[in-house]
């Protein structure tokens, strides 16, 4: 019975055998087990068994079987497109790895992606993530000798140096890093495929992984999640927050499906796309009853006289803070923070100020804890939206979630 697939479940628990996936693709192309057997160098009984196991994992048949051969059914066609994308990612990653890496004495196979096993690819990704064979084996739930052997077998198969010993453990070479990223994206593609089959079978227990930046956590993301779960209560969400660069790395490596928060202008790299949901101005905010609340005109010298809580360097909000004090001395007392809980505590317990979206302090305003000051914040408008991989093809549930985010953005725009 299909129980819901995420990337980590694909990676560690229920990885489809890549040879089985190749066999599935060849049977779909030829309509014949005997022809596929010749192409993938497996026996006919092995391919029959492979298809049966794959259909068991999916929870439904993928072929219409008849005396004249085998024809892919509608479900099989959907899954086939995901398999082809996954195998293409591994193939392209292998080619790039061969281009980047130095092959040792001509050893290894130029088509090693066709020969690599799931265990070898899984070992590569696990070591690339953990930087240590022991930690990687623990994460993967296999013995250290087994994982070490699989990783080294992939090295021999490719003829590439993939792992280098370092003071901190193991470092992956540029070739290995390229290959690991492609393999990770292939695993994500397979997770999408299993989730789509589940949706079609009425078992919508897929997982959506969202990387979130500060603004999205207080209104937009909670609203969108609640909207989706009204109609799809079995969907599982995994919400990850952290610095933008870390979240972008997770998105590009297939660990995260979508980022929600302040967009970067220009787009930081060409393999992601951004969609604006709404525009959000910033405000200078302090505790309710702050001394500046009673002051008429507030100048930059007045603001600089108070301590501040600011966003970390490189973020859009920090750049607006720096622009606010361009040409004059910035406040001397500054705390860098991104946690709204910490910011609230610092502001309510002192006369500190911050530059923040009024959407983020919506609840604090309603409770009478924080208040925006009458400071002209023209020029601080930021686009808020989603960031996805350029070639990402969302499942039906993920597409519905993107629609919910768009509706939440419309609600945010409508708020005073």
- pLDDT at position 9 is 56
Fold: same for 204-278+383-414 and 282-380 = yes
CATH class of 282-380: alpha beta
- pLDDT at position 3 is 43
- For the entire predicted model, the pTM comes to 0.84
- pLDDT at position 5 is 47
Q: Which of 175, 349, 194, 190 lies closest to 254, judged by CA?
A: 190
- pLDDT at position 213 is 86
Answer CATH for 7-183 from 3.30.70.20, 3.40.190.10, 1.10.10.10, 3.40.50.300: 1.10.10.10
What residue ranges do the domains of the chain occupy?
7-183, 204-278+383-414, 282-380
CATH class of 204-278+383-414: alpha beta
- What tokens were used for 52? 């049966």
- State the alpha helices, DSSP H only, in 68-173: 74-100, 112-115, 118-130, 133-140, 144-158
pLDDT in tens, the chain (416 residues): 334 445 565 555 567 888 889 999 999 999 999 999 998 888 999 999 999 999 998 899 999 998 888 999 999 999 999 999 999 999 999 999 999 986 665 578 889 999 999 999 999 999 998 888 999 999 888 899 999 999 999 999 999 999 998 877 788 999 999 999 999 999 999 999 998 998 888 876 678 999 998 778 888 999 999 999 999 988 999 999 988 999 999 999 999 999 999 899 899 999 999 999 999 889 999 999 999 988 878 999 999 999 999 999 988 889 999 999 988 888 989 999 988 899 999 999 999 999 998 888 888 999 999 999 999 887 888 899 999 999 999 999 999 999 999 999 999 887 65
Q: State the Cα–Cα distance between residues 337 and 354, nearest whole angstrom.
A: 10
Are 340 and 216 a contacting pair, CB within 8 Å? no
Spatial neighbors of 82 by CB under 8 A, at least 6 apart, are 189, 190, 192, 193, 196
- pLDDT at position 19 is 86
């Amino acid at each position: 019975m299909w129980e819901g697939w995420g990337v980590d479940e694909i990676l560690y628990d229920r990885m489809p055998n890549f040879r089985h996936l190749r066999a599935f693709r060849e049977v779909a192309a030829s309509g014949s087990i005997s022809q596929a057997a010749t192409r993938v160098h497996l026996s006919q009984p092995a391919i029959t068994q492979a298809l049966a196991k794959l259909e068991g994992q999916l929870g439904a048949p993928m072929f219409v079987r008849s005396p004249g051969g085998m024809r892919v059914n509608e479900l099989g066609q959907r899954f086939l497109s995901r398999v082809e994308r996954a195998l293409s990612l591994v193939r392209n990653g292998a080619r790039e790895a061969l281009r980047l890496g130095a092959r040792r004495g001509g050893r290894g196979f130029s088509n090693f992606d066709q020969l690599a096993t799931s265990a070898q690819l899984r070992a590569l990704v696990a070591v690339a993530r953990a930087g240590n064979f022991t930690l990687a084996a623990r994460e993967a739930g296999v013995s250290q000798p087994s994982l070490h052997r699989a990783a080294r077998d992939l090295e021999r198969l490719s003829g590439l140096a993939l792992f280098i010993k370092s003071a901190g453990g193991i470092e992956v070479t540029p070739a290995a890093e390229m290959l690991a990223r492609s393999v990770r994206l292939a695993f994500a593609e397979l997770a999408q495929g299993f989730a789509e089959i589940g949706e079609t079978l009425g078992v919508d227990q897929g997982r959506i992984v969202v990387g979130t930046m500060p603004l999205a956590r207080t209104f937009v993301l909670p609203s969108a999640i609640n909207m989706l779960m009204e109609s799809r209560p079995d969907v599982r969400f995994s919400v990850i927050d952290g610095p933008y660069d870390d979240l972008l790395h997770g998105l590009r490596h297939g660990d995260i499906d979508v980022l929600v928060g302040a967009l970067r202008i220009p787009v930081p790299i060409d393999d992601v796309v951004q969609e604006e949901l709404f525009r959000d101005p910033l405000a200078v905010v302090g505790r309710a009853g702050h001394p500046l609340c009673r002051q008429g005109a507030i100048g930059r010298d007045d603001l600089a006289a108070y301590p501040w809580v600011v966003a970390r360097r490189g973020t859009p909000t920090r750049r607006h803070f720096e622009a606010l004090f361009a040409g004059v001395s910035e406040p001397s007392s500054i705390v860098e923070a991104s946690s709204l809980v910490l910011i609230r505590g610092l502001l309510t317990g002192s006369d500190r100020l911050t530059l923040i979206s009024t959407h983020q302090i919506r609840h604090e305003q309603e409770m009478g804890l924080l208040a925006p000051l009458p400071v002209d914040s023209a020029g601080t408008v930021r686009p808020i939206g989603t960031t996805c991989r350029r070639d990402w093809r969302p499942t039906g549930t993920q597409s519905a979630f993107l629609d919910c985010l768009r509706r939440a953005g419309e609600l945010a725009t409508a708020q005073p």
